[in-house]
Amino acid sequence: MHDTSKTVLEALMKNNIFMNIKKNKEKEIVILRSKGNVLRAAVKTDFPCCLIEKDEILKIQFINNDGNASTEQKPTTDYTSNPETLVTFYIHTTGGEKIKLLMKNRILRLNVDDVCVYAFKEEDCITALKRDGRFIDYIFQKHCALSEMDSETIYEMSITAEHLHQKHFRVVVLSDQNQPDSQDDLTFVKTEPNVASDADVAETAGSSQNPINTEQDKKQDGNTTSMDPSTKQYVAKPNVNSEEILGILRDQFPDLLETLKKREKLKNKSEVQKFFREEYGKSVENFLEVKKVKQLMKLSDSVCQIRKGGTREGTGFLLFNRFILTNAHVIGIFTDLTKVNAEQFTAVFGYEDLDSKDSKCIPVKQLTDYFYGKDDKGRHLDYALLELDVDKMAECPNLFDSYSPNAPIKKGQICIVGHPGEGVKKMDPCFIIERENRLEAAHKHASEHQHLIHVINEKCVEEKWDFSAYENQFTYDSCFFHGSSGSPVFDVDCNLIGIHTGGYKYKTKGDKTWSVMEYGFSMQPILDNIIAVARIKGLLDIIRNVSQTAEQQNLIDTEMKDAEEPEES
């Protein structure tokens, strides 16, 4: 059956068994996949065979048509057999509150939980859904959007399909207003604050993190961003729903103000104003200094996105010369026995715009060193040192040069630079949650999410959360999400102090992921381990580059000199 030049129906029509079974042409054919990110998702009969895996088993069944859906199921030819030009994504057959009945054929919704849609990378979501033909017209007439099942990130229907690949969505109604004939605005909206977690951390007894895939473009002055087709650049476009949104926010303000007063024990308006002045002052005090912004901008040049093929796995940064540091779990290492083909990975520098042409992709040459788990001192390490296939990254600063072994990591403001949401490079200034305040911060989070308290408690017991399990761990409340694992963490003096790694997460029944707090690990134990491994392997160049003191440098110079002197015969 696997003729990649055909549709699924074209392939099935050459099968005698299928043709004998299909006697009633008025029934709708339902084809269920056995592979993909969402199992048993139904594809249309025009689904390209090039998107079906070679050993994948398709389940064929027939359902009655309730009169709403077309029974015409002819193979189409408006696609290419090249899978590189196509993407697939998944839609839940039941929509949000205002749009429960999503499928034209309601019997399909009763038999299938999800459908799989194919699309060309460059076309928008609306075009793909209209071609699919299974969805009711309402979703194209009203202001509807796609809400990602894992994170509840909202994607406008006008987004290009390449951003939706392999993701799982539910259709939601943002506004009952009729939409214009064309919908060109592109908006990413983060619907929940600070559900900070990032990618791919293994489930461990002491810590846990699950990906939250969130991309957020900032909105200002009632404008959203949209892509100009002629220039492929993002331009400002008025938000037609800004007045409605403003009204909703105003209605919510009195309740939010009362909640704030109770939580912070504020008695009157003047105390509230003082509270906001102090909080705002603390949040902007350090990282809005021009000198520090310039310094962070320069250091951020050394931050890269780690990719495996076309998949964005996490973040890394240039530690020195041609060596980048990231989390071990970013490249798939969860135990010391795990083997990884490092040559499958690339480091992408300068990815600061969705349509960036200045990004520089550098292949990874080899995995030089890694560690995942506890070291002999009981500290948790999660790092991988990758060597790039390049002589030297002269245009990027070595972030090891900004490392200070004496910089405190117990309190104060920090700034994380990375690629959250698998997107462009961003930074997040936030505050360290001091060790003695971690339990209080966890209780505060739980009190603000009382309706989820049983879920939080279950996950806490199940995974044995211990917010102070590791001496080299520091915690904070960040807005960085999936894709930001491996990001460098800087203190208020722009010293490199650690690596952003994970968070304490839990999931609700709707599969939404929340995080109590996030965490990183300090640099010194990582550097100690890198030096120890380099000594065993005789990698004196690495030892020289990660040694801090003059005494260490003199020792390395002596070792290198001894190694270079020929042995006497």
User: pLDDT for 474-498, tens place per residue?
Assistant: 999 887 867 799 999 999 889 999 9
Per-residue pLDDT band for 401 (boundaries 50, 70, 90) equals very high
Alpha-carbon distances, residue 513 vs 150, 282, 446, 486 (angstroms): 6, 29, 14, 20
User: pLDDT tens digits for 498-525?
Assistant: 999 988 888 776 666 778 899 999 999 9
What is the distance between the alpha carbons of residues 151 and 154, in angstroms, rounded to a whole number?
9
pLDDT of residue 223: 42
3-state secondary structure of 520: strand
Considering only 6-15, 238-247, 267-276, which range has the smallest mean pLDDT? 238-247
Report the top-level CATH class of 290-525: mainly beta
Would you put residue 309 in left (φ > 0), alpha (ψ -120 to 50) or beta? left
Give me the DSSP letters along 435-493.
Answer: GGGHHHHHHHHHHHTGGGHHHHHHHHHHHT--TTS-TTEEEE-----TT-TT-EEEETT
CA distances from 295 to 10, 290, 420 (A): 60, 9, 21
Compute the average pLDDT of residues 310-336: 91
Task: Return the half-sphere exposure (C-beta side, CA atoms, 13 A cut-off) of residue 361.
Answer: 11
Q: Is the overall model pTM greater than 0.75, yes or no?
A: no
How far apart are the C-alpha atoms of 174 and 160, rounded to whole Å?
A: 19
Helix runs in 113-157, H state only: 125-132, 138-141
pLDDT of residue 23: 61
**Exposed/middle/buried for residue 539 (C-beta within 10 Å: 0-12, 13-18, 19+):** middle
CA atoms of 418 and 481, how far apart (whole Å): 10
- β-strand 380-388 against 473-476: which pairing, if any? unpaired
**Block residue for tokens 């992921």:** 513
Question: What pLDDT is recorded for position 569?
Answer: 37
Question: What pLDDT score does 286 carry?
Answer: 62
pLDDT value of position 11? 84
Comma-separated ranges of CATH 2.40.10.120 domains in the chain: 290-525
Enumerate the H helices of 123-209 as residue ranges.
125-132, 138-141
Please, are residues 79 and 87 in contact by the beta-carbon 8 Å criterion? Answer: no
pLDDT more than 90, % of the chain = 30
Are the C-beta atoms of 471 and 186 separated by less than 8 Å?
no
Rounded to an integer, what distance in angstroms lies between the CA atom of residue 324 and that of residue 534? 15
When mean pLDDT is compared over 54-63, 162-171, 266-275, the highest value belongs to 162-171
Amino acid code (one letter) for 559: E
Q: Taking residues 297-321, report their average pLDDT.
A: 93
Q: Are 445 and 516 in contact (CB under 8 A)?
A: yes
Region 422-450: mean pLDDT is 87
Split at pLDDT 50, 70, 90, the class of 2 is low
